Amino acid sequence: MNQLLVGVACEDDGHFSVVTRLVDETVLAAHDWLDGVLDDCRSWRDVHGNPGWYKYDPDDAQILRPIEIDGKRIARHGHIGGEPLKPEARMWRNVLLLFSRAEPRPEVVILARDLDGDQRRRAGLVQVRDGLPWPFRVVVAAAQPEVEAWRVAGFVPIDERERATLAEVRTDLSFDPTVQSHRLTSHPNDAATDAKRVLARLCGDDQDRRDLCLADRARLRGHGVENGLAAFLDEVDDHIVPQFRTGR
């Protein structure tokens, strides 16, 4: 099987850790033959073809020139499908243009972004993804309000101490953040509702405990309708899982 190259554009290591873990868990659930060999069958890439992830730098876009894909010209500037650009659409178009000229070029690109309560950001992502003929599949990971809320949505207490902590958090917030994580906030960071603060209260700094929050995909789907997680998992099912086939 040839190695699947997956480009990742995101904001930080936190995004990269969450989206790649969710992709791997979903792929392994669908293809158990990949257990033990998945690392040999897929790799994460930046726009320069190096392992890892990419954070957009406007200076990188200065080298871009129009390209033609399926007979359609794609440039850095101008409308998309005759429509004015939605928020951040110009940035994401530049990111995908950079991936389009990468060597080797990925077969799938994941775009990860915190919405911070602004659904227009997702609209810009979708406009770029759907409005232009990219030479790869594009998967959107748009977290509301931020990616830490996805971990909170999957939190299940494992002992009495954690059950007590969750009860305290529910009382302080007047809602259950594991069920309604979309109601958490990303700014200001010192607010009781801040997703990072809530995750820290529930899991501390233990990375393994935080990763455990991403293990139950059924729970994540059930609690992820309004925080963007269910939509991301659907896109992984549609655009990434089918890429893994024996003898690909």
Same domain (yes/no): 13, 118: yes
> Please, which pLDDT band fits residue 2 given cuts at 50, 70 and 90?
confident
Which residue's structure tokens are 């994941």?
Answer: 110
Which positions ≥6 away from 87 have C-beta within 8 Å? Answer: 118, 120, 121, 123, 124
Same domain, 155 and 140: no
Would you say 10 and 217 are in contact if contact means Cβ atoms under 8 Å apart?
Answer: no
Asked if residue 76 belongs to a domain, the reply is: yes
Same domain? For 13 and 127 the reply is: yes
Quote the pLDDT of residue 189: 80
Count of domains forming the chain: 2
- Residue 68 has a pLDDT of 83
Whether residue 215 lies inside any domain: the answer is: no
Q: Are residues 204 and 182 in the same domain?
A: yes
Is the domain of 182 the same as that of 85? no
Residue bearing tokens 């069958």:
41
> Can you give the pLDDT at residue 78?
87
CATH label of the domain that carries residue 56: 3.40.50
Indicate if 153 and 125 belong to the same structural domain: no
Q: Flag whether 218 is in a domain.
A: no
> Is 156 contained in some domain?
yes
Q: What is the mean pLDDT of residues 165-190?
A: 95
Is pLDDT at 142 greater than 90 in this prediction?
yes
| 186 within domain boundaries | yes
0.85 cut: is pTM over it? yes
Instruction: Decide if pLDDT at 195 tops 60.
Output: yes
What is the domain extent for residue 190?
149-209
Q: Are residues 42 and 70 in the same domain?
A: yes
193 in the same domain as 140: no
Structure-model confidence comparison of residues 18 and 1, the more confident one: 18
pLDDT digits (tens, 9 = 90+) for 29-70: 999 999 999 999 999 999 999 999 999 999 999 888 888 887
pLDDT of residue 248: 46
Which residues neighbour 159 within 8 Å (Cβ) at sequence distance 6 or greater? none
Is residue 67 in some structural domain?
yes
Reported as a single tens digit per residue, the pLDDT across 211-222 is 999 999 999 999
Q: In the structure, how many helices (H) and strands (E) does the chain have?
A: 10, 6
Percent of the chain clearing pLDDT 70 (strictly above): 98
Q: Kindly indicate the confidence band of residue 135, based on its pLDDT and cuts at 50, 70 and 90.
A: very high
Find the mean pLDDT for residues 21-33.
96
In whole angstroms, how far apart are CA 45 and each of 9, 32, 53, 98, 234?
9, 24, 6, 12, 22
Same domain, yes or no: 135 and 171: no
pLDDT 10s digits, 79-129: 998 899 999 999 999 999 999 999 999 999 999 999 999 999 999 999 999
In this model, does residue 205 exceed pLDDT 90?
Answer: yes
Q: What is the pLDDT of residues 144-176, one digit of tens each?
A: 999 999 999 999 999 999 999 999 999 999 999
What is the structure's pLDDT at 247?
45
Contact assessment for residue 211 and residue 166, using Cβ atoms and an 8 Å cutoff: no
Residues 192 and 77 in one domain: no
Q: For residue 33, give the amino acid letter.
A: W
Whether residues 180 and 81 fall in one domain: no
Task: Give a yes or no: residue 248 inside a domain.
Answer: no
Is position 95 within any domain?
Answer: yes
Q: Are residues 153 and 57 in the same domain?
A: no
- Output the pLDDT for position 246: 52
